[in-house]
Structure 1
Amino acid sequence: MSTAFSMAPLFRSSVGFDRFNDLFESALRNEPGSTYPPYNVEKHGDDEYRIVIAAAGFQEEDLELQVEKGVLTVSGGKRDAHEGVTYLHQGIAQRAFKLSFRLADHIEVKAADLRNGLLNIDLLRIVPEEAKAKRIPINGTQKPALQH
């Protein structure tokens, strides 16, 4: 017996990825392709986030990042097998992958860095002035009521 549950309450106040709830729920459903390669989503401040993808064995030229219509897509091409090598045990995956992350409004990719087998993608929330909350002062003087 499986029960469906929403993780929305857990993410209401935590990240600027308002729609990342879908990502985590799909990962919980164990959809094909959602487990390779493993990754973390981290919050580093009010407006700073990082996606860390385990990309062991991949080089910069093997990876591609693209943002289109609010979706960040990270893909890695299949690496060529080394000629003349016989594997006694092959635990490092040699397959291509494609991960998609739906970004919340005003989230932009700031930088990407591949170091020590980890692909770090830094994200920044840049909210334009017109979209920020505005404080409305309440005047203490009584004004005449509006007439219809």
Structure 2
Amino acid sequence: MSKVTFASHPYLLGFEDLDRLVERTGKSGKDGYPPYNVEQRSASAYRITLAVAGFAEEDLAITVEANQLVIRGRQSEDDEGRVFLHRGIAARQFQRSFVLADGVDVSGAELENGLLHVDLERVEPETVVQTIKINGKRS
């Protein structure tokens, strides 16, 4: 039995990549670390906020790779000479990815009180109307 997806609809041509993207996003981020919020700040602006307590600015990296916003965190191990009787604060690395639509760009980022804010803005593209010439059959 073949898998039926929305991209197999006859009116949706060339959406196979979107289908794979939806499937991949459903599988990513299952562990829920770090927790995050996504808020819409206006009709064309968004903010992603990640709880990154204990991470310094130099421990974080934000990149955009092929319409995918990737936020990585890696804390340096500074345990030399320290003896923990209990260690409940994990210094673990993370990678959190968000898929950006065409025209959505990162407009800035700031780290404040253990929260990393990444601001996004949608730039509306110009509407382009194309007229296609019909060529007659040549004999």
Q: How does the TM-score come out when normalised to structure 1?
A: 0.64
CA distance in 1, matches of 2:89, 2:122: 35
Q: Which residue of 1 aligns with 2:99?
A: 102
Compared with structure 1, are the counterparts of its residues 62 and 129 closer, same or farther at alpha carbon in structure 2 (3 Å cutoff)? same
Q: 1:91 aligns with which of 55, 76, 88?
A: 88
Task: Write the deviation string for residues 114-138 of structure 1: whole angstroms up to 9, x where unpaired.
Answer: 111100000001112226xxxxxxx
Q: How does the TM-score come out when normalised to structure 2?
A: 0.68
> Alignment partner of 1:61: what SS?
helix
Q: Does the 8 Å CA contact 2:109/2:117 hold for their aligned counterparts? A: yes
Percent identity between the aligned chains? 45
Alignment of 1:46 onto 2:43: yes
Give the letter for the 2:110 counterpart.
D
1:89, distance to aligned residue in structure 2 (A)? 3.0
Q: Which residue of 1 aligns with 2:124?
A: 127
Q: Which residue of 2 aligns with 1:79?
A: 76
Task: Give the 4+ runs in structure 1 shifted more than 3 A.
Answer: 31-34
CA distance in 2, matches of 1:105, 1:116: 31
Q: 1:118 aligns with which of 110, 115, 120?
A: 115
Give the alignment of 1:28-67 within 5 angstroms.
34-67=31-64
Let me know the Cα RMSD of the aligned residues: 2.6
Number of residue-to-residue matches in the alignment: 109
Unaligned runs of 5+ in 1: 1-18, 132-148
CA distance in 2, matches of 1:32, 1:124: 23
